Amino acid sequence: MRHPLKLAVFLCSFLLIISCQVREGSISLAKMVSEQTNGNFHDYWYQGVAEVNSYALLQSRYGEVREGDAILVFVTEDFSKSKQVKLDDSSKVPEDKISTLKLNSIRKFKTGIYDYSMMQSVFTPIDLKSFPNTLKTTASSQDWCGHSFTQLNLEDKQYRFSQNSYFEQEGDELREIENSILEDELFTRIRIDPSSIPTGNVELIPGLFYSRLLHENLKPKQARIRMEKKEAMNLIVEYLHFERTLVIRFEEEFPHRILSWTETNGKDWSAGGGSKATLKKTIRNAYWSKNKNVYESLRDTLQLGF
């Protein structure tokens, strides 16, 4: 009877080791889940300051690579469910309040004699279990030729898409887009809870900066999403039916700062509106109150070139 007993012990030990190895592959994501429950999330994001990140930007435009600056500003904000705007006083309408993580994404770069200024805002609910979709995103682009503005508002099971552009082929447009995950909300989801991002084949609405620079008609596309750990975590998005790849590199540990990103349209990132951005500096600051000349030194801290 000794041998069967030894065999049983061996099998149990073997299965336990295999189980641990299987679970070990999920440790990276498991460690990133539920920061809200241990207080880290609240202590970091609800202190009345924003997180401001500056990046060295390389932006492809008109077949050449341009140097510039990118900024990612993350801050929590009380948002109106009914009006889809920032609430001035949420205490007056608590039933209408949704706590969101807002991302203001800014790119500035030169193209010869003139320059580009692009900005996007993304409003993603903190409570993704109750509100699983980003509520609103807007994007604008200005250069010496003209300017354009795009907005997506979540309405029931679809997004209301509105666009105003100086290009004849685009012009003014109002239509509906099937509700899907926004490529642009991947940045806010990483900061809220990376495990909330589905992996595998998904329907994804490409980024608004991408659609603007390449004049692409915006609609959901099939993409494959995966996570990969190489020193830091890499979120990799590969579209299946056209050439576009986005790689977002971020810290595995909370608060999951965005360290860099690369977007490639075609085989070479430097062609077709691709971009690379690498983190230069992070500060936590109530920037909206720092609008006097005396605070311009903070731009030096962020190493901004514009």
Q: Are strands 200-205 and 181-182 parallel, antiparallel or unpaired?
A: parallel
pTM, to two decimals: 0.88
> What SS3 string covers 19-84?
HHHHHHCCHHHHHCCCHHHHCHHHHHHCCCCEEEEEEEEEEEECCEEEEEEEEEEEEEEEEECCCC
* Pairwise CA distance, residues 299 & 306, whole Å: 9
- Provide the pLDDT for residue 27: 38
Token output for 62? 């008109």
Token output for 81? 């469910």
* Pairwise CA distance, residues 31 & 233, whole Å: 12
Neighbours of 15 (CB within 10 A): 10
- Provide the pLDDT for residue 3: 52
Alpha carbon separation from 248 to 69, 186, 187, 229, 304 (Å, rounded): 17, 9, 8, 12, 22
Query: What are the tens digits of pLDDT across the range 134-158?
Result: 999 999 999 999 999 999 999 988 9
Longest CA span, the chain: 88
Percentage of the residues of the chain whose pLDDT score is greater than 70:
88
Query: What are the tens digits of pLDDT across the range 88-130?
Result: 999 999 999 999 999 999 999 999 999 999 999 999 999 999 9
Instruction: List Cβ neighbours of 265 (8 Å cut-off, separation of 6 or more).
Output: 210, 214, 243, 244, 271, 272, 273, 274
The upper half-sphere exposure of residue 105, i.e. CA atoms within 13 Å in the direction of its Cβ, equals: 23
